[in-house]
Amino acid sequence: MYWNTFRFVVFATFFNNLLGLLLAMGVNRAMPSIIKYLLRTALFFPVLTTTASLALVWNFLLTQDRGVVNYLLQQVGLPPVPWLSSSSWAMVSVVMFDVWRACGFLMVIYLAGLQAIPEVLYEAAAIDGASQLQRVRYITLPLISPTAFFAIIISIIGAAQVFDNVWVLTGGGPGDATRLIVLYVYEIGFKRFEMGYAAAVSLTLFAILVVLTLLQFRLSRRWVHYD
Amino acid sequence: MSMLQDASPHLSRISRFFQTFRVFLGETVIWTFLIVMAIIEFAPISWILATSLRNPSESFKLPPDFWPTSFHWQNYLAVINSPQINFLLFFWNSLKIALITTLAQLLTCSMAAFSFARLRYPGRDLIFFLFLSSLMVPATVIMIPTFILIRMLGLLDSHWALILPATTSAFGVFLLRQAFMGIPSELFDAAKIDGAGYWRMYWQIALPLVGPALSALAIFTFLGSWNNFLGPILYLRSWDNYTFPIAIVMLSGYMGTGNRAHVLAAVMISILPVLLFFLMAQRFVIRGIAVTGLKG
């Protein structure tokens, strides 16, 4: 359980934040407002919908035989993948689903951070002859670091609490491959009715999160720049 | 860069060509990435729409359609009249819980936030710190204590079990406090000189000035309540109390044996209210997240 949750949290947090930041930088560029509106709406859309029902939809899409995703894979000449029925792929599917659903939310958080960076800095850098990559490296990344810090903590806490995804998508299976902590707590507490044990498990999760968050605060002194 | 500019004119023309080429390449990569991501994010949604409008016997059709090719509105009627669920009742349950929760949060959070931002009393900052630290506790950890509390109050299997724990939130208080702090204090001084009491300052000055933050909070609360899945599973037992997300999962049936087109029609119906809400207030949502995101 802990190992599953750990893997899920690490991968989901990493990809959510990476894609969220990249998307935010992309959407933040100068472009006609109608395109900007369409892009933002399309990218943010999955955030608005019920996780449970979307997981249901992905269940349809990821079926091994006659599933849409496998059909598309075959069209480009790749072999079909046992997305939900193999225990090694099931975790990949669960992470993929979470990233698909949540990276739009992180995009909006990063977007807010990006918009707070004064335009003047970029202009000055451009005059000094800094390339686009240099501008990203020396202006965007340091100035976005407080936002990134917030976003990473939020996504770790959020990912540790994922329930609907696995409940609908895999039911924790196959075997125990995608049984995450919250699902486990739910099963002990409300199916086996061992409330005390369930509460103890959830407290260990809390302890781990507190340690992780404190660790983040410690590490943040090295890479987060406030002004 | 500067070294290249010092080189001979011939060399600089070549370097300029490469620079243009690099910029062009960069633009292509960025746009491809954005468009591919937008398609990946949106394609499943349009597949839902297309399949929900197709004849149920064709819902397993491959190649899949990503835009509606036929308009089989009967699927939507079938959901509304489905014998497996009581559509109108479940929809109304969800809507009622979401609306009450949203209104309650707007009221309680804004009042608490006003007091934290504008009133002076001993222990104010300590209480606010306690509020903030509760944000750090994941919902999972308080799931079991909340359940036991609700059971002791005798509220199991009633909508109050979902409404009461959600009538206020530290997140909302935090969001609105930051917004209230942003109002120039001269406004309140002027109001005080004109003889306004706290109630009037709150209601007629503070609230109208934090519209974006209020609507962001409204949207988050509505979304959270409308999409809540674990809560209803834990607390609701009887048929009459079920909410819409449960109904969708019920429609899909045991091991996904339900009618796929009907399930997808139900999913579309569940997206609709939130979508309308969002399209009207997209700007506010993004600005509202900006308010919270930056102060974290």
The model's pLDDT over A173-221, given as tens digits with 9 standing for 90+, comes to 777 777 887 888 888 888 888 888 888 888 888 888 888 878 887 887 7
Inter-residue contact B2 to A129 (CB < 8 Å): yes
Enumerate residues 6+ apart whose C-beta is below 8 A from A170.
Answer: A84, A90, A93, A94, A177, A178
CB atoms within 10 A of CB B279: 11
Q: What is the 3-state secondary structure (H, E, C) of A102-167?
A: HHHHHHHHHHHHHHCCCHHHHHHHHHCCCCHHHHHHHHHHHHHHHHHHHHHHHHHHHHHCCCHHHH
A139 CA: distance to closest CA in chain B (Å): 17
What are the Cα distances from residue A167, in Å, to A85, A179, A215, B99, B104? Answer: 15, 9, 30, 26, 30
Chain B touched by A40 (CB under 8 Å): yes
pLDDT value at residue B109? 93
Of B26, B141, B271, the CB nearest to A49: B271
Question: A36 touching B, CB under 8 A?
Answer: no
pLDDT of residue A113: 77
- A49-83 burial by CB neighbour count: b if 16+ within 10 A, else e? bbbbbbbbbbbbbbbeeebbbbbeeeeeeeeebbb
**Distance to chain A for B274, nearest Cα, Å:** 7
pTM: 0.77
Nearest chain B Cα to A108, which residue? B286
Whether residue A153 contacts residue A220, with contact meaning beta carbons closer than 8 Å, is answered with: no
Query: Which domains are present in chain A?
Result: 2-223 (1.10.3720.10)
Q: A19-67 pLDDT, tens per residue?
A: 988 888 888 887 787 888 788 878 888 887 777 778 878 887 887 677 7
pLDDT at A2 exceeding the cut of 60: yes
- Is residue B277 a contact partner of residue B292, using CB atoms and an 8 Å limit? no
Per-residue pLDDT, B1? 44
Helix, strand or coil for residue A51? helix
DSSP B167: S
| Rounded CA Rg of chain B | 26
pLDDT at res. B265? 84
Pairwise CB contact (< 8 Å): B293 & A150: yes
Contact flag A205-B37 (C-beta cutoff 8 Å): no
Tell me the chain A residues in contact with residue B1 when contact means C-beta distances shorter than 8 Å: 129, 131
How many other β-carbons are positioned within 10 Å of the β-carbon of residue B231?
20
pLDDT per 10-residue tile (average), chain B, 296 residues:
52 77 82 86 82 72 68 76 78 90 93 90 86 75 85 88 88 82 83 87 85 79 85 84 82 65 82 76 61 42
User: CA of B193, closest CA in chain A: separation in Å?
Assistant: 36
Contact B243, B224 (CB under 8 A): no
Res B101: pLDDT: 94
Distances (CA, A) of A209 to A157, A159, A205, B183: 7, 11, 6, 35
In 10 A of CB B53, how many CB atoms?
A: 22
**pLDDT recorded at residue B295:** 36
**Cβ pair B261, B65 in contact under 8 A:** no
Higher pLDDT, residue B138 or A154: A154
Residue partners of B100: CB distance under 8 A and separation at least 6? B163
Mutate to test the interface with A, among B20, B21, B31, B34 (most CBs of A within 10 A): B34
Which of B22, B141, B244 would best serve as a mutation to test chain A binding (most A beta carbons within 10 A)?
B141
Predicted pLDDT at B255: 52
Calpha distance B288→B264 (Å, rounded): 31
A113: chain B residues, CB-CB within 8 Å: 293-294
How far is B158 from chain A, CA to nearest CA, in Å?
A: 17
pLDDT of B10 reads: 66
DSSP 8-state secondary structure symbol assigned to residue A29 = S
Q: How far is CA A165 from CA A23, A98, A153, B138, B161, in A?
A: 23, 7, 20, 17, 23
Q: Name the percent of chain A in helix, strand, coil, to the closest 5.
A: 75, 0, 25
To the nearest whole percent, how much of chain A has pLDDT over 70? 98
Which residues of chain A lie closer than 8 angstroms to B287, CB-CB? 112
